Structure 1
Amino acid sequence: PLPTGHLPALRTRDEGTISKPQQIITHLRKQKYNADYDLSATQSADTLAFVSLLEEKLLPVLIHTFWVDAKNYVEHTRKWYAETIPFPLNFFLPNAMHKRHLKRLQLIWGDDYMEDEEKLEKELYREARECLTLLSQRLGSQKFFFGDSPASLDALVFSRLAPLLKAKLPNGKLQQHLKSLQNLCNYCTSILSLYFPWDGGDPLSGAPRAAGTDGSEAEEDPHKRRKQLLSVLVGLVAMLGYAFLSGIVSIQRGSVGPAGRQPVAPALEEEEEEEEE
């Protein structure tokens, strides 16, 4: 389990667990792991400028695209996370993450940022498209931003662009602009093939089975079935608790009939549509 409850997280010998990205980068640089070691002063200044541009102009719009845009969130992001997160956390975490990102945008753009959709579309998305265009112009025909070797800027740019490029978004205003910048698309595809060759497939599908895997589950872990049963019970309790709190399930006392008093039993209340989390 993660000591901080958040990713990324790096467990160190001297400083404990570090969870903030910039602190992790600083720690690694102290250990002589520095992707920018060979950069010139001008290239280091360019890195700082583009990092600031990405965080100010592109990241908030990416958050809006994935987490606030209603169509994208319901049909892609929430579904994607709910299918990936283990049960029963997949019932609660996507909605909690949605609220956290919404508050983050409110801090960046102000409480009334959602009231003017036209301004959001014309100004904020325009600035994000301009940011992508600047990245495309800076990259040019190079393999990476500073030549043939990746630097920290490449890691940041890839982390922002690859999800946008690969996600199947029903509302892809910003995505279409990225796809029109062919060198950025080739850049992401090249990094995927170089450093993530298993992307799009199961990296373990062709791996040989370890010795002893043909034995029974009980022989591998005598407590495995007990753990699985406890997990199921915890999940059922969580689901019932959620159902009672949301009003999906209620307890009704039966009336007294000729055959005597009927026992108390749960009654499911039919709903025309499921409540969105």
Structure 2
Amino acid sequence: MAAPMELFCWAGGWGLPSVDPDCLAVLTYARFTGAPLKVHKVTNPWRSPAGCLPALKTKEEGVLSQMHQIITHLRKQKYNADYDLSARQGADTLAFVSLLEEKLLPVLIHTFWVDAKNYVEHTRKWYAEAIPFPLNFFLPNRMHKQHLERLQLIWGESCLEDEEELEKEMYREARECLTLLSQRLGDQKFFFGDSPASLDAFVFSHLAPLLKAKLPNGKLQQHLKSLQNLCDFCSSILSLYFPWDGGDAPSSAPKTSASEGTESEEEPYKRRNQILSVLVGLAAMIGYAFLSGIVSIQRGPPGAAGPRPIAMEEEEEEEE
């Protein structure tokens, strides 16, 4: 039997199998199609063979690190959730996926990574607690910067002109997008009837984090919670396809073995990435010590013989 494909994705939290929308989309699509994946849920992207998450290790195409590339590969392997869709339904899928990426994704990035209260009290707090030491000192900030850059690419130069007005417009369009999704879903179980398709995976991966996260500032979250059919849609997918995979495993559940698709302790990149983590962590702490003045190099007067030791300086911060 051929070795299963290996998927590396962010670990679960907030009652979800993964906290990252792209990872959640891939996981959900794989559950819909029954694709045989060996899933490694990690809290350190350097444990992925691509250095980022999600990443799919395949025999045919090596390592794939983009959500759309991973789903396309699963389709090539005959795990196609859209196989029974008509041409019209396929066109609707493309239109709604484009709508999600254009109208809803920017607001999700803003809600979790730009809104100061949400970022400090929720997003950064979760990642800082989940990511292992010493990476938790700088990886959340690095991710924050990457999301800001991604949002600027989506917004373009207009984000620098009138940020407050742009934010209002962005949230208004996101609310309209949610309302449109609610109207399209109606009383159906899934968007195209009783069987899930890729559109259901994409919508779920965008809505579930917004629905389940305990955000201190939940402007868009409140609108989502007012759309009962979308809330039921997310709850149904969680209960049907992730019954005991909601981030915090039940205490009575036995530890799953690697052959059953969970993270293996013998994961081939573990030792390499542990060494990298320690080296980068030490470099970051030493760099911080020099930049902050905790550590400095004392230079002796001209003609002094021999090297001088590094002096440790202690400074008291004054309260303003």
Distance of 2:91 and 2:152 partners within structure 1: 30
Instruction: State the SS of the aligned residue for 2:289.
Output: helix
Distance of 1:2 and 1:248 partners within structure 2: 35
The aligned amino acid for 1:69 is D
Instruction: Give the 3 Å change call, closer, same or farther, for CA 103–36 of structure 1 in structure 2.
Output: same
Q: In the alignment, which residue of structure 2 is the partner of 1:244?
A: 289
1:234 to partner: Cα distance: 5.2
Distance of 2:254 and 2:80 partners within structure 1: 35
1:197 to partner: Cα distance: 1.9
Tell me how large the CA RMSD over aligned residues is: 2.9
Q: Which structure 1 segments of 5+ residues have no match?
A: 211-219, 222-226, 254-262
- C-alpha contact (below 8 Å) 2:293/2:313 kept by paired residues: no
Distance of 1:118 and 1:101 partners within structure 2: 18
For each residue in 1:81-131, what CA deviation from the matched residue of structure 2 results, as whole angstroms up to 9, or x when unmatched?
111111111111111111111111111212341542331233111111100
- C-alpha contact (below 8 Å) 2:128/2:137 kept by paired residues: yes
Distance of 1:79 and 1:34 partners within structure 2: 37
Which residue of 185, 193, 207 maps to 1:161?
207
2:195 aligned with 1:173: no
Which has the greater radius of gyration?
1
1:168 to partner: Cα distance: 1.2
Instruction: State the SS of the aligned residue for 2:159.
Output: coil
Q: In the alignment, which residue of structure 2 is the partner of 1:129?
A: 175
Identity of aligned residues (%): 74
The aligned amino acid for 1:20 is Q
Distance of 1:153 and 1:232 partners within structure 2: 37
Which residue of 232, 238, 258 maps to 1:186?
232
Q: In the alignment, which residue of structure 2 is the partner of 1:72?
A: 118
2:249 aligned with 1:203: yes
TM-score norm. by structure 1 comes to: 0.80
- C-alpha contact (below 8 Å) 1:250/1:269 kept by paired residues: no
1:252 to partner: Cα distance: 8.5
1:233 to partner: Cα distance: 7.0
Which residue of 138, 144, 148 maps to 1:92?
138
Distance of 1:107 and 1:230 partners within structure 2: 34
- C-alpha contact (below 8 Å) 1:114/1:120 kept by paired residues: no
Q: In the alignment, which residue of structure 2 is the partner of 1:53?
A: 99
Instruction: Give the 3 Å change call, closer, same or farther, for CA 182–248 of structure 1 in structure 2.
Output: farther
Q: In the alignment, which residue of structure 1 is the partner of 2:157?
A: 111
TM-score norm. by structure 2 comes to: 0.70
- C-alpha contact (below 8 Å) 1:249/1:268 kept by paired residues: yes
Instruction: State the SS of the aligned residue for 2:157.
Output: coil
Distance of 2:241 and 2:318 partners within structure 1: 47
- C-alpha contact (below 8 Å) 1:252/1:267 kept by paired residues: no
1:237 to partner: Cα distance: 3.1
Distance of 1:233 and 1:121 partners within structure 2: 40
Distance of 1:233 and 1:81 partners within structure 2: 18
Which residue of 181, 185, 188 maps to 1:139?
185
Instruction: Give the 3 Å change call, closer, same or farther, for CA 142–245 of structure 1 in structure 2.
Output: farther
For each residue in 1:6-42, what CA deviation from the matched residue of structure 2 results, as whole angstroms up to 9, or x when unmatched?
1121111121111112222221111111000011111
Q: How many matched pairs?
A: 250
Distance of 2:255 and 2:107 partners within structure 1: 44
The aligned amino acid for 2:104 is L
Instruction: Give the 3 Å change call, closer, same or farther, for CA 233–164 of structure 1 in structure 2.
Output: closer
Instruction: State the SS of the aligned residue for 1:268.
Output: coil
Instruction: State the SS of the aligned residue for 2:120.
Output: helix
Distance of 1:134 and 1:244 partners within structure 2: 52
2:194 aligned with 1:148: yes
Q: Which structure 2 segments of 5+ residues have no match?
A: 1-46, 257-264, 267-271, 299-308
- C-alpha contact (below 8 Å) 1:144/1:187 kept by paired residues: yes
Distance of 2:132 and 2:111 partners within structure 1: 25
Distance of 1:198 and 1:155 partners within structure 2: 18
